[in-house]
């Protein structure tokens, strides 16, 4: 894939990460389904608080997240599958499932589709243009943008301009996804996840086009 299309795909998947990230927060009691830090913290408090049922649910979510990462490591050695296309399909499947979940479902259980899909996406979309960058959360992207901007403005080092632009666009893409998802959620609630299929379809088409141009296997 040429660098321009790689960047475009990165920004599309960052948009998707923001879209599904705020969707999880809005629909599942402020829980973030794209990471495990909070979930692992609650695992400890559930043990100490003797909340066995919540512990089991959270442990299941953690294992699902780990399985997705392990699958992304295993597949390249044992198949010719295109991990980026597969990741987009997993995201689409998760988006479909989320819209059918019943109201009142346990927030942790409701996040299971996202735990898997977002972990797999994180493993398959790890950056572009020579920069490491997550498409499912923003903390390190913010750090890298701030560091590059400080070098550019405070130290007058213009060599950091490409880095500042890349991470700035990544943050903008992610939080544009947040904004769009929130506005749609006001009208569609839990079914908002289905509308995520539109940017995912665009990402799928872009990756497929890039595969054909580079004669790379588009196999799923």
- Decide: helix, strand or coil at residue 128: strand
Tell me what percent of the residues of the chain surpass a pLDDT of 70. 97
pLDDT digit string, tens, across residues 50-75: 889 999 999 999 999 999 999 999 99
CA-to-CA distance for 13 and 203, rounded, in angstroms? Answer: 7
pLDDT-derived band at 49 (thresholds 50, 70, 90) equals very high
Token duo for residue 113: 């589709």
pLDDT digit string, tens, across residues 152-200: 999 999 999 999 999 999 999 999 999 999 999 999 999 999 999 999 9
pLDDT-derived band at 104 (thresholds 50, 70, 90) equals confident
Residue 118 reports pLDDT greater than 80:
yes
Q: Tell me which residue has tokens 């597949």.
A: 75
Q: What pLDDT was estimated at residue 103?
A: 85
Q: Tell me which residue has tokens 């299929």.
A: 197
Instruction: Report the run of H or E that residue 132 belongs to, with start and end.
Output: strand 131-132
Task: Write down the number of H helices and E strands in the chain.
Answer: 10, 2
CA-to-CA distance for 210 and 218, rounded, in angstroms? Answer: 9
* CA 37 and chain centroid, separation: 15
pLDDT-derived band at 210 (thresholds 50, 70, 90) equals confident
Residue 4 reports pLDDT greater than 90:
no
Q: Calculate the dihedral angle through the C-alpha atoms of 121, 90, 109, 184, rounding to the nearest 10 degrees.
A: 90
Question: Is 90:117 a contact under the CB 8 Å cutoff?
Answer: yes
């Amino acid at each position: 894939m040429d660098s321009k299309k790689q960047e475009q795909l990165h920004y599309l998947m960052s948009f998707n990460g923001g879209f599904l990230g705020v969707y999880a927060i809005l629909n599942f009691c402020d829980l973030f389904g794209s990471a495990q830090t909070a979930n692992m913290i609650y695992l400890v408090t559930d043990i100490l608080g003797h909340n066995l049922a919540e512990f089991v649910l959270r442990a299941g979510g953690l294992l699902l997240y780990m399985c997705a990462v392990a699958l992304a490591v295993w597949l390249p050695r044992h198949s010719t599958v295109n991990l980026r296309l597969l990741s987009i399909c997993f995201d689409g499947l998760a988006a479909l499932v989320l819209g059918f979940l019943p109201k009142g479902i346990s927030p942790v259980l409701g996040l299971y589709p996202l735990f898997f899909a977002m972990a797999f996406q994180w493993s398959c979309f790890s950056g572009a243009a020579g920069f490491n960058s997550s498409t499912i959360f923003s903390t390190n992207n913010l750090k890298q943008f701030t560091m590059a901007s400080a070098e550019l403005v405070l130290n007058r080092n213009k060599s950091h301009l490409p880095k500042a632009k890349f991470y700035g666009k990544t943050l903008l893409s992610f939080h544009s996804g947040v904004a769009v998802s929130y506005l749609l959620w006001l009208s569609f609630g839990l079914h908002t996840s289905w509308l995520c299929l539109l940017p995912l379809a665009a990402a799928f088409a872009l990756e497929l086009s890039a595969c054909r141009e580079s004669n790379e296997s588009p196999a799923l």
